Amino acid sequence: MEKQKFSDYGMFEGHSEYELAVQRCEDIYQRRYDLRSDFARDYTRIIFSQAYRRLKHKTQVFFAVEDDHVCTRSEHVNLVESISYTIAHQLGLNTELTKAIAVGHDLGHAPFGHGGETILTDIAKSHDLDKFWHEKNSLHFVDHIELLEDNNHYQHNLNLTYAVRDGIISHCGEMNQKYIQRRKEYINLNDYQYAGQYNPWTYEGCVVKMADKIAYLARDIEDALRLNVLTQSQIDELRTQLNQMGNYQFHAINNGSVVNYFIHDVVENSCVEKGIGLSQEAFDKMKFIMKFNYQNIYLIKRVQVHEKYVSLILHSIFDFLYDYKNHNDFIKDLKQDLKQYPKLIGHYLAWLEKYAVIENYSRKKEYHNHVVYDFIHDSQAFEKSIIDYLAGMSDAFIIQLFNELISF
């Protein structure tokens, strides 16, 4: 197996587009004796963020599970980081860049996984707002929502490099692509209109996009078996069918064997001319596993029932807060109701304090981050602030808020 095939194309210093890759939206404060590269600094800025911490309580596939060994969004992100690191290292790409993209790629996921994303889209559309999709919301969160404190206790946005931001919004793992070739255009990332519209700008971003799919194929099967959604006989039948699709023979269908197979195939078949890709056999096997998972895991009746529960939670909290929009002084009225709903209202007020400009209320001097909601000039600021507030929550926290809303 040829190694380091992409070493002349990795986004390292000396690459013809490196200066564009490390551009930030604004100057970033410097820490004394900082030893990190730009991409390594992005990596640590992401893992220090609160959104990254909340991933451990966000659904990957299976929801409300009191089982420490069922995959969460946090574990999925770690798996993507590991897989992309291995592929990038073997191909001679910049592993610091793949690590940063990988740990940031799902920061914008809604609570309750893709079910929550669907409900937030319904809410957004009902208020004439753009569709909610987690890839763009991940970029929104790293650009505007997540804050870090400097040495003077001032709060700043993450202000990540272009290459990391591009990899985050371009990562859509739901696309069926045998090869992912980097795009050449250096675009304004806010021009994205839908998930998968463009390929990543770097080969490192292409690696993360491929790793995102590899990471969940067999891991979801393992969880489904553990939770009695699948039987071992179904998995054995899947293995038999996969082994009839070419030369490679799986001895078991588990996360380790499946991940190892696809990593090896990607490293073997990727090339500069075509991009990061798979053999035809591996591509067919990947599509077959995906079809199996959709039919037997993702579309089962229990998931459909759960979406009704998710809809009740998200709509109830949204409607409760949105009702204050018509109050003459909604901040004053929210504070008056704070004793009844200390968590729901208290955390929402704290959210507005960080990100909003509201007539007759001043922001605290420690917030040097972007204003996200201009209540003075934007008639939809209220709706936008509530949707972002909901999208940032973990499953566990939003259930606490819902219980507070319906309990006495």
Kindly list the structural domains of the chain, giving each domain's residue range(s) and its CATH number in brackets, ordered by start. 18-107+146-298 (1.10.3210.10), 301-406 (no CATH)
Burial label for 127, CB within 10 Å (0-12, 13-18, 19+), is: middle
CA angle, 402 then 407 then 408, to 5°: 145
pLDDT of residue 286: 97
The residues near 383 (Cβ < 8 Å, ≥ 6 apart) are 124, 127, 129, 322, 325
CA distances to 17, 68, 174, 192, 229 from 306, rounded to whole Å, are 46, 20, 22, 31, 15
Which of 83, 117, 393, 130 lies closest to 265 in space, CA to CA?
83
Q: What whole-number distance in Å separates Cα of residue 271 and Cα of residue 91?
A: 9
> Phi-psi bin for 112: left (phi > 0), alpha (psi -120 to 50), beta?
left
Number of neighbours of residue 325 by Cβ within 10 angstroms: 14
Q: Rounded to an integer, what distance in angstroms lies between the CA atom of residue 234 and that of residue 369?
A: 51
Burial group, residue 93, by CB count within 10 angstroms (0-12, 13-18, 19+): buried
pLDDT score for 1? 65
Is the Cβ–Cβ distance between 6 and 266 less than 8 Å?
no
Q: What is the mean pLDDT of each run of 10 residues along the chain (408 residues)?
A: 88 97 91 90 97 90 76 92 98 98 94 91 96 94 96 94 98 83 96 93 98 94 92 97 97 97 98 97 97 92 86 98 96 97 98 96 93 97 98 95 95
pTM: 0.96
**Residue 187 amino acid letter:** I
Q: Give me the pLDDT at residue 307, please.
A: 87
| Identity of the residue numbered 208 | V
Give per-residue burial for 171-195: e unless 16+ CB within 10 Å, then b. Answer: bbbeeebbbbbbbeeeeebeebeeb
Per the rule left: phi > 0, alpha: psi between -120 and 50, beta: everything else, 156 is beta
Q: What residues contact 179, with CB distance under 8 A and at least 6 apart?
A: 274, 275, 276, 277, 278
**CA 270 remoteness from chain centre:** 25
Strands annotated E in 202-244: none
